[in-house]
């Protein structure tokens, strides 16, 4: 490919099928002296390398502290949260947790409320999958690999905000040291090692942060509206009148003694129909209460199904 773009030279002895494939593939490459570059399927321009240099890059990507195999959960453009805070703690008692919370509070200011329902412990599912693939079989070293997993998660594209959390904070894309060492295309064209010029450019990027964050906020609102529209399109409207007898769906499955026991309780009587699909139910041995209209269905008599 390099010989063709430099001197229009074609290897002799190729069959017609080989020539057809050669001209089909060569259009994705171009020559920028002294490098051969390729426009990949994701429209990112990458430099072609050979020999030991290619081995060093593969080793850094697969074995280095910033590399690893994270699968489609990391590389694909999935719906992820905007960010995650994680730190290895010796225990989970109140004193240790309060000390940990002081760090994000100092950087992002005190939140309006900390939501805690005293339920079971949980974490971000996507980050947990990235963490499990980063750690591998040696789970005892999870605290040592936590920083690598966080870097992978924070530099992944987030569909709701339209960029990466790294860019949202620093105003630029995250580049690894190996890209500078082996002269990636962006490094050849954009890197300026003049400290004064680079400092002025960095100040300009920081001033553009507000615009980037406003755009991310708008993207988040648009994504939420689309998600709401898809969710609402699958909801069937229920119309109830005062006096109807209905059954109430109980989603607390752990409260039932057997898995074959019914999930419907009642019957109850509707005493009031409110706005936004809310209904008020009455029960013979207790006060009235309000529920979502999608959690009830008509009761036609007989045993509770």
CATH number at residue 277: 2.30.30
Residue 72 and residue 43 in one domain: no
CB 181 within 8 A of CB 175: no
Q: Starting at the edge strand that comes first in sequence, how are the strands of the sheet with 29-32 ordered?
A: 29-32, 35-39, 45-47
> Could you tell me the residue range of the domain that residue 249 belongs to?
245-298
If one counts the domains in the chain, the total is: 3
Phi and psi at 204, nearest 5°, equal -65, -40
* Residue 133 falls inside a structural domain: yes
Predicted pLDDT at 305: 52
Residue 200 and residue 279 in one domain: no
What's the whole-model pTM score? 0.36
Residue 36 and residue 95 in one domain: no
Residue 107 and residue 198 in one domain: yes
Residue 164 and residue 73 in one domain: yes
Predicted pLDDT at 8: 73
> Comparing C-alpha atoms, which of 151, 126, 144 is closest to residue 67?
151
Residue 29 and residue 141 in one domain: no
Q: Tokens 């450019």 label which residue?
A: 201
Residue 93 and residue 165 in one domain: yes
Residue 138 and residue 267 in one domain: no
Whether the link from the prior residue into 34 is cis, omega within 30° of 0, is yes
Whether the link from the prior residue into 156 is cis, omega within 30° of 0, is no
* Residue 257 falls inside a structural domain: yes
Residue 4 and residue 42 in one domain: yes
Strands, E assignment, the chain:
29-32, 35-39, 45-47, 245-249, 264-273, 278-283, 286-292, 296-298
* Helix 209-233, helix 195-207: angle, nearest 10: 40
Predicted pLDDT at 39: 79
* Residue 29 falls inside a structural domain: yes
* Residue 202 falls inside a structural domain: yes
* Residue 205 falls inside a structural domain: yes
Predicted pLDDT at 70: 43
* Residue 184 falls inside a structural domain: no
Per DSSP, what are the bridge partners of residue 39? 45
Predicted pLDDT at 190: 59
* Residue 61 falls inside a structural domain: no
Predicted pLDDT at 258: 62
Residue 88 and residue 17 in one domain: no
Please give the C-alpha separations between residue 27 and each of 2, 8, 21, 44, 184, in angstroms, as whole numbers: 11, 13, 11, 15, 20
Residue 40 and residue 135 in one domain: no
Predicted pLDDT at 288: 84
* Residue 251 falls inside a structural domain: yes
| pLDDT tens, N- to C-terminus, the chain (305 residues) | 676 777 777 777 778 887 788 788 877 888 777 777 887 776 677 778 777 777 777 776 665 544 444 443 333 233 333 456 667 677 767 777 777 777 666 665 666 666 655 555 556 666 677 767 767 666 666 666 677 777 777 777 777 777 777 777 666 677 666 666 556 665 656 565 666 776 777 677 667 777 777 777 888 888 888 888 888 887 777 778 888 888 888 766 555 556 666 777 778 888 888 877 788 888 878 788 888 887 888 887 766 55
Residue 72 and residue 214 in one domain: yes
């Amino acid at each position: 490919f390099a010989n063709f773009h430099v001197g229009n030279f074609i290897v002799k002895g190729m069959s017609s099928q080989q020539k057809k494939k050669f001209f089909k593939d060569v259009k994705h490459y171009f020559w920028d002296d002294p490098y051969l570059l390729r426009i990949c399927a994701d429209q990112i321009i990458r430099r072609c390398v050979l020999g030991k240099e290619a081995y060093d890059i593969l080793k850094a990507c697969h074995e280095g502290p910033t590399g690893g195999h994270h699968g489609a959960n990391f590389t694909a453009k999935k719906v992820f949260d905007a960010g995650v805070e994680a730190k290895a703690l010796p225990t989970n008692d109140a004193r240790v947790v309060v000390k940990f919370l002081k760090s994000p509070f100092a950087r992002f200011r005190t939140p309006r409320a900390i939501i805690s329902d005293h339920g079971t412990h949980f974490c971000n599912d996507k980050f947990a999958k990235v963490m499990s693939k980063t750690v591998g079989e040696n789970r005892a070293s999870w605290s040592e690999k936590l920083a690598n997993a966080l870097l992978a998660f924070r530099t992944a594209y987030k569909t709701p905000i339209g960029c990466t959390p790294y860019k949202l904070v620093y105003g630029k894309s995250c580049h690894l040291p190996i890209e500078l060492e082996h002269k990636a295309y962006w490094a050849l064209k954009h890197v300026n090692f003049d400290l004064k010029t680079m400092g002025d450019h960095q100040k300009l990027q920081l001033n553009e942060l507000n615009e980037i964050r406003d755009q991310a906020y708008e993207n988040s609102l648009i994504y939420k509206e689309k998600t709401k529209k898809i969710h609402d399109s699958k909801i069937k409207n229920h119309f109830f009148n005062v006096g109807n007898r209905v059954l109430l769906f109980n989603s607390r499955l752990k409260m039932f003694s057997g898995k074959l026991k019914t999930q419907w309780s009642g019957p109850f009587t509707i005493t009031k129909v409110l706005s936004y699909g809310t209904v008020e139910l009455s029960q013979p041995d207790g006060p009235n209460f309000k529920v979502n209209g999608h959690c009830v269905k008509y009761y036609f008599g007989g045993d509770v199904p």
